[in-house]
Amino acid sequence: MSIAERLPASTRGRTLTLAGAACAWILAYWINGWVWDRLLYDVAGLRADVRSTETIHFFCYDTVKIALLLVGIIFVVTVLRSYMSIERTRALLGGKRQGVGNVMAAGLGVITPFCSCSAVPAFIGFVAAGVPIGVTLSFLIASPLVNEIAIGLLFTLFGWQITALYIAAGLSVAVVAGWTLGRLGVQKWVEPFVFETRLGGQVIDSTAGLTFAQRLQMGAEEVTTILRKIWPYLLVGIGLGAVIHGWAPADFFTSHAGGGNAFGVLIAVAIGVPLYSNAAGVMPLVQAMYEKGLPMGTLLAFMMSVVALSLPEMILLRRVLKPQLLAAFVAVVATGIVAVGYLFNLVLA
């Protein structure tokens, strides 16, 4: 008799359903790019080297990818936090240990393969579980800002010294920015629905005593509720990212953000924010501009602004953060990135 057959019928049914849903999710995520390649290039006959085709492919692929990430992350985080005591979580990561919590959250962000948009649902789950807002913001910043793909590419292209500087700078920005925002008491500027725990359409005070089936129900309801609230923001954000995807302002950078321009880092950050890419996607542009003689600090500031402060992320975050906190988040993170850029240019001069 197999393990599945030994389980009670109701438990066996839920286990098989969960396993089937997980396999379907993994398969959908895995074949997403292949499906759009076949549909757009083979079926529709669009040329892959045309900018409009690239824009359409980016929009279709990223919409499905981020929707899948939202569904998976929201469901898993909601079920997990139903087992977490808010008081215990706050005691672990809040209060006098907030600085340690910021470092832990930034470290967690480094090892999670999220882009700036797909890190948002994890951010929602952490805040709802009682993790202090400043600690959670450290995760939100570090997750796209420092990742293993960028580390590997930087090491290959520029050596371990630049790679180490990038890691140290990214973690420093995430920890300091999250700690600073936490000290400003910005939790009041998070939309109220983020803190609510619902089951069956009703807000519940505690998840203690819930059955496993109820916890799964809560996860499914949370997915539906959050997607219903943010889907217009998601489509607008990805749409803007698709339109500007592939735009490579190398010549503009060479003319206006070169080593002789004292405002080069500021220009790089201002250009980087509207763009939407992960670190791997922006690295070819960074390498091309580096070969044209642009300072490394300016290039790192540009890369950090692209992956940590993308316009699509800001549009998505607006649904969960009030304008005051969104503005403070952008200001603090941008200031940290600009400071890192100038510091690197000074050290590496």
| 82, pLDDT greater than 80 | no
Residue 34's pLDDT is 94
Q: Does residue 291 or residue 54 have the better pLDDT?
A: 54
Q: Does residue 24 or residue 237 have the better pLDDT?
A: 24
Q: Does residue 208 or residue 91 have the better pLDDT?
A: 208
pLDDT tens string 93-144 = 544 456 777 888 788 777 765 665 566 667 776 776 667 888 888 888 887 6
Cα separation, 22 vs 298, whole angstroms: 42
- What are phi and psi for residue 260, nearest 5 degrees? -85, -5
Mean residue pLDDT of the chain comes to 75
| 308, pLDDT greater than 60 | yes
Structure token digits, residue 146: 């420092």
Most confident among 15-24, 25-34, 337-346 (mean pLDDT): 25-34
- Bridge partners (DSSP) listed for residue 190: 321
Q: How many CB atoms lie within 10 A of CB 240?
A: 19
The H or E element that residue 195 is part of is none
- Is residue 205 very low, low, confident or very high in pLDDT (cuts 50, 70, 90)? low
| 198, pLDDT greater than 80 | no
| 14, pLDDT greater than 80 | no
The H or E element that residue 45 is part of is none
Mean per-residue pLDDT, 33-54 = 88
Cα separation, 11 vs 77, whole angstroms: 21
| 41, pLDDT greater than 60 | yes
Residue 19's pLDDT is 87
Cα–Cα–Cα angle for 331, 189, 266, rounded to 5 degrees: 5
Asked whether 240 and 318 are in contact (CB, 8 A), the reply is no
Residue 32's pLDDT is 92
Structure token digits, residue 232: 């217009």
Print the SS3 string covering 253-312: HHHHCCCCCCCHHHHHHHHHCCCCCCHHHHHHHHHHHHHCCCCHHHHHHHHHHHHHCCHH
- Is residue 31 very low, low, confident or very high in pLDDT (cuts 50, 70, 90)? very high
Percent of the chain, pLDDT > 90? 5
pLDDT tens string 247-292 = 555 566 666 666 667 788 888 888 777 766 666 566 667 777 777 7
Q: Does residue 53 or residue 122 have the better pLDDT?
A: 53
**Nearest to 77, CA basis, from 110, 107, 106, 120:** 120
| 345, pLDDT greater than 80 | yes
Print the SS3 string covering 26-40: HHHHHHHHHHHHHHH
The H or E element that residue 212 is part of is helix 212-244
